[in-house]
Structure 1
Amino acid sequence: MRSYSRSSIALFAFAFVAGTVGLIACSADSSHDGAWDGEGSGGSNNSGNVSGSSSSGWNGGGSGGGGFQGTGSGAGEPPPPPPPPDGPPDAGADAGQVTCDELDQTKPVILYLSADDSNSMASPAHVRELIGLGVSPYPTEVRTYEFLNYYNVAYPAPEVGKLALFPELDATAVPGEFDFQIGVRSFDAVKPRRPMTITFVLDTSGSMGGPGIERERAAVKAIAQSLTEGDIVNMVTWNTSNNIVLDGRVVTGPNDAQVLAQANALEASGGTDLHSGLVKGYQLAEKHYGSTRLNRVILISDGGANVGVTSSDLIGLKSQDADKEGIYLVGIGAGSALSYSDQLMDVVTDKGRGAYVYLDNLGEATHMFVDRFDEVMEVAARGVQIELTMPWYFQMHKFYGEEYSGDPKEIEPQHLAPSDAMIFNQVLKACSPSIIEPTDTITVRAKWKTPLAYLDQQTEVTMTVGDLLSAQKAGLPKAKAIVAYAEALKAPSKQAFDDALALIKAADPASTDAALKEIASLIAAHPNNK
């Protein structure tokens, strides 16, 4: 069998996905029209039409400068893919300095913010596997906001049915610049949870052979462990054709024997026909749909198939039915990492409004679908929209979420899972340090709908600049360390990694935080940290 370097694989994937996404673009939501996906960073002013976006036109939270960081350049290898077309600036880019004279001092700055769906968190696990293989991830494989989702930043939970807001502000070493973070914390998962209808759509094509099929089996088994009596399971396997192996199976409880038997029977062979598998899966999901149940289609794949307009429209239609509980799609990426194509799951989970996770080892299946099951599968608040009102002299300097704008119509609200938090991390810059007034206020407002009744809800917090600066920083130090790590992965250097390690030490001086300890070990193992 002919072997390929990672550079070769990237070239083939680039050409393949470029055609795929071109098909999808005509049916994509208007808020996802970026030419290429770099985490948003746009200059903020008082005109009401500023925006920054990292919504996907190609993929990922990559740095605007682009480039591909292959690990080999041997003779006979194809050249790296061409750089992506110009798009929104990278999250770390300077939004540009605005002078105070250019601003309307009578109007506050009002921005609307979006994080990627709070339970999308594939990028950190995919990156972790690559580093373990001695490979530096491509910048496009690093989506900073997913790192903030995956490595939990802890805030206290509110009472059931509520959301809690946690704004934090801290001065940087640069006069007039401030680290600013908003934590939006949901209530903890309610026990017992509501019943579920789960429809597995499982890739059994030949490319899933090896780690892919093993991780797929582990995912099904982990989800089976989290099911309760009365949950319904459907299962479709697909390669060149599709096969219904479970139709309306009412499970007896955790680890149902029939579900486990089908998981153990999964084998990889044949080609790929994603669309027919999705059609059959959604037919089963509709057949066993329950308006008071949690209805999920779970797609597991190595990303080797394409998704055309028809599949994309089908996923979007089933997830966005405003009159009833939607059938959301959860995407599970199953490697191995070197051949895994991230684009498929990034697109389908964006349309399907569900979680996107990646399994870099068998134990990760238990971590995501037993330990964090409700966080991955359930919804606590629908259509969360964050409105930020600041003094006239502040602008958005760097933004590490997915997108922001002065126009709320440009920002797609996102769902928030229980026992979870949306983390909006950014850097604010004043037009002049001398103009800042400690008594000026910053207001954060959250609007959302309840999961089943779709009742409008709202909460807000207003604090002065001075009070925010003097308050204890509960989650900001850890989030700054996570962001620094993710950004260093996009442009790896010893200095960038040293800066991230310094922030880890500042956030966790006793080295007791498991997430930060893991990040420190990954930095130490990174092939460019020499």
Structure 2
Amino acid sequence: MKNVVFIGSAALSLIVAVGLAACGADEAGSDFGGYSEPPGESSGGNVAPPPAPPPSEGTDAGTDAAAPFACDGLDKDSPVILYLSADDSNSMGSPVQIRELLNKGITPSASLVRTYEFLNYYRIQYPAPPTGELSILPHLGETKVAGELDLQLGVRSYDAVKPRRPVTITFVLDTSGSMGGEPIERERATITAIAQSLAEGDIVNAVTWNTSNNIVLSGHKVTGPNDPQVLAMAASIEASGGTDLSTGLAVGYQLAGQHYGTGRLNRVILISDGGANVGVTDEDLIGLQSEDADKEGIYLVGVGAGPGENYNDLLMDTVTDKGRGAYVYLDNPAEATRMFVDRFDETMEVAARGVQVEITLPWYMRMFKFYGEEYSTNPEEVEPQHLAPSDAMIFNQVIKACDPSVVDPNDSITVVARWKTPLTYLDREVKVTMTLADLLAAPKPQLAKGKAIVAYAEALKNPSKEAFQSALTLIEEAKAGASDPELDEIAALIAKHPVHLQP
């Protein structure tokens, strides 16, 4: 049995319909995101002490909380070494879908809640390292249970470098009948927001798809922000017909390949309500184009256009995971500006490729509750993830000692992050070692906000007035009398949950 705990949506059983070879040459240019010319998961959480089998597909659960854990039989000379994954750091669809449902008075399904995406979406501020570097900021706090410790790791990238490198954007636009009304407005808003973020010389391609497909832009060089032709294309799209996602993706990737640029950021932007009902989706096609074998891939950014309870989250979550890009959801047109203007670099760019995080704990500790996507004692079982500039991977978990009496404050925790530079594939590493005493004594405002966000997400899985009240208490503790619009938003959403409203 593989010693890995998977947390997140199950992969769909998808049929391979198209095989396209990856195209392009070795990547060149700046390693730091700026451009240079090329030379030629309630606090109950995911209880998962290793070793453990993976949970059932589609769940966000670990193993039994009551699993025995005693010091007898543990090797005092063997520290606990684990490898962690938080999913792509800019997958953020889950909390926005939840927000839309709560604003409509609908109780969200627990299956929609991916706690690590809440940690991605709501910003926890960590100081940026120098350009080209990553930093690790561990925070440790005591819980109310002896021998249990809250542990949060922030792996922070450097801030986005300006000017950024040129981009080639290929829109794959769902214009099927189900996109009528709110979804098509959100789709138009996405194109308009991205147009606002483009610069002279960027390239835009676009294909619309329903039961057929239509190339509406191919190799169009924009004149600058708000290019008239791109804006006209956004205004002209209409909803009609069925949904043949497979063919639309195939044509989109063909266009992206034809206009692939060495030294450019190459992205396919799939915008859909996820309601594919004609043809097949081609997971292998997406995976092939996002491979990192000998060049930067053509990564897929998925934009969920909703609306609400009719939206197919599983489809969009699966294809964007395979495409190794961001997964965002729009609950209103203004969200497009937030994601593709205010957070354009976070959503589109790559600062560090294939980030793998390793943590070494004292021999008497185990992972008790884990709120990331997956962890394992075997590094090959945890897929490395890309990290965007101006962004952080947040790992929030609870670790537990086999006996509180064996905890030594002088023992240490070591965290290592390994990655490759985005364009030249150089191996890099950063390492931090701190004693338990030093970690417990250090200021930790980021941990307080992380705990509040996690408590909110976990309460959504098992809603009760007590769970929501606990989350509200942690929100107030994290704010510490200061203003935090994100935590205020979460508190307002809790107030709208049907369970919280019950007398």
Cross-structure match for 1:387: 358
Q: Deviations over 1:104-155 (max 9, x none)?
A: 1110000000011000000010000000010110000010000000001110
In structure 2, stretches of 5+ residues that fail to align are: 1-8, 19-43
Q: Which residue, 207, 225, 242 being the options, matches 2:196?
A: 225
Tell me the CA shift for residue 335 of structure 1. Answer: 1.1
Cross-structure match for 2:432: 461
Specify whether residues 142 and 125 from structure 1 end up closer, same or farther in structure 2 by C-alpha distance, changes over 3 A only: same
Tell me the CA shift for residue 400 of structure 1. Answer: 0.1
Cross-structure match for 2:13: 22
Tell me the CA shift for residue 21 of structure 1. Answer: 1.9
Q: Which residue, 411, 418, 436 being the options, matches 2:382?
A: 411
Specify whether residues 169 and 52 from structure 1 end up closer, same or farther in structure 2 by C-alpha distance, changes over 3 A only: farther
1:466 corresponds to which letter in structure 2?
Answer: A
Indicate whether 1:425 and 2:388 are aligned.
no
Cross-structure match for 1:360: 331
Cross-structure match for 2:136: 165
What pairs with 1:130-169 in structure 2 (closer than 5 Å)? Answer: 130-169=101-140
Query: Which range moves more in the overlay, 283-292 or 309-318?
Result: 309-318
Cross-structure match for 2:407: 436
- Using the size of structure 1 for normalisation, the TM-score is 0.85
Cross-structure match for 1:47: none
Report if the CA contact (8 A) 1:63-1:139 is conserved: no
Q: Which residue, 211, 223, 233 being the options, matches 1:262?
A: 233
Mapped partners of 1:39, 1:236: distance in 2: 42
Indicate whether 1:336 and 2:307 are aligned.
yes
Cross-structure match for 1:72: none
Cross-structure match for 2:70: 99
Report if the CA contact (8 A) 1:51-1:406 is conserved: no
Tell me the CA shift for residue 319 of structure 1. Answer: 0.2
Cross-structure match for 1:305: 276
Root-mean-square deviation over aligned CA pairs: 2.1
Query: Which range moves more in the overlay, 393-402 or 510-519?
Result: 510-519
Mapped partners of 2:496, 2:265: distance in 1: 40
Q: Which residue, 298, 312, 321 being the options, matches 1:327?
A: 298
1:209 corresponds to which letter in structure 2?
Answer: G
Mapped partners of 1:465, 1:53: distance in 2: 30
Q: Deviations over 1:404-433 (max 9, x none)?
A: 000001000000000000000000000000
Report if the CA contact (8 A) 1:306-1:344 is conserved: no
Specify whether residues 318 and 344 from structure 1 end up closer, same or farther in structure 2 by C-alpha distance, changes over 3 A only: same
2:286 corresponds to which letter in structure 1?
Answer: I
Q: Which residue, 185, 203, 207 being the options, matches 1:214?
A: 185
Specify whether residues 321 and 310 from structure 1 end up closer, same or farther in structure 2 by C-alpha distance, changes over 3 A only: farther
Mapped partners of 1:171, 1:261: distance in 2: 56
Report if the CA contact (8 A) 1:53-1:404 is conserved: no
SS in 2 for 1:235: strand
Q: Which residue, 30, 38, 42 being the options, matches 2:48?
A: 42
Q: Deviations over 1:297-346 (max 9, x none)?
A: 00000010169876100000000141011000000000111211101111
What pairs with 1:185-204 in structure 2 (closer than 5 Å)? Answer: 185-204=156-175
1:502 corresponds to which letter in structure 2?
Answer: T
Mapped partners of 2:278, 2:80: distance in 1: 40
How many matched pairs?
468
Report if the CA contact (8 A) 2:243-2:278 is conserved: no
Cross-structure match for 1:79: none
Report if the CA contact (8 A) 2:361-2:412 is conserved: yes
Report if the CA contact (8 A) 2:245-2:280 is conserved: no
- Using the size of structure 2 for normalisation, the TM-score is 0.90
Tell me the CA shift for residue 23 of structure 1. Answer: 3.2
Tell me the CA shift for residue 22 of structure 1. Answer: 2.7
Tell me the CA shift for residue 509 of structure 1. Answer: 2.6
Q: Deviations over 1:92-115 (max 9, x none)?
A: x62724100021111000000001
Mapped partners of 1:115, 1:307: distance in 2: 33
SS in 1 for 2:269: strand
Q: Deviations over 1:260-295 (max 9, x none)?
A: 000000100000111111111000000000121000
Tell me the CA shift for residue 57 of structure 1. Answer: 3.8
Mapped partners of 1:311, 1:291: distance in 2: 26
In structure 1, stretches of 5+ residues that fail to align are: 1-16, 28-37, 45-49, 65-87
2:396 corresponds to which letter in structure 1?
Answer: N
Mapped partners of 1:362, 1:131: distance in 2: 17
Mapped partners of 1:151, 1:372: distance in 2: 12
Query: Which range moves more in the overlay, 305-314 or 203-212?
Result: 305-314
Report if the CA contact (8 A) 1:53-1:402 is conserved: no
1:21 corresponds to which letter in structure 2?
Answer: L
Q: Which residue, 427, 452, 458 being the options, matches 1:481?
A: 452
Deviation >6 Å, runs of 4+ = 307-310
Tell me the CA shift for residue 51 of structure 1. Answer: 5.4
Report if the CA contact (8 A) 1:52-1:405 is conserved: no
Tell me the CA shift for residue 470 of structure 1. Answer: 0.7
1:100 corresponds to which letter in structure 2?
Answer: C
Q: Deviations over 1:387-413 (max 9, x none)?
A: 000110000000000000000010000
Cross-structure match for 2:472: 501
Report if the CA contact (8 A) 1:42-1:95 is conserved: no
SS in 2 for 1:475: helix
Specify whether residues 443 and 456 from structure 1 end up closer, same or farther in structure 2 by C-alpha distance, changes over 3 A only: same
Mapped partners of 1:295, 1:508: distance in 2: 39
SS in 1 for 2:156: strand
Cross-structure match for 1:372: 343
Specify whether residues 510 and 383 from structure 1 end up closer, same or farther in structure 2 by C-alpha distance, changes over 3 A only: same
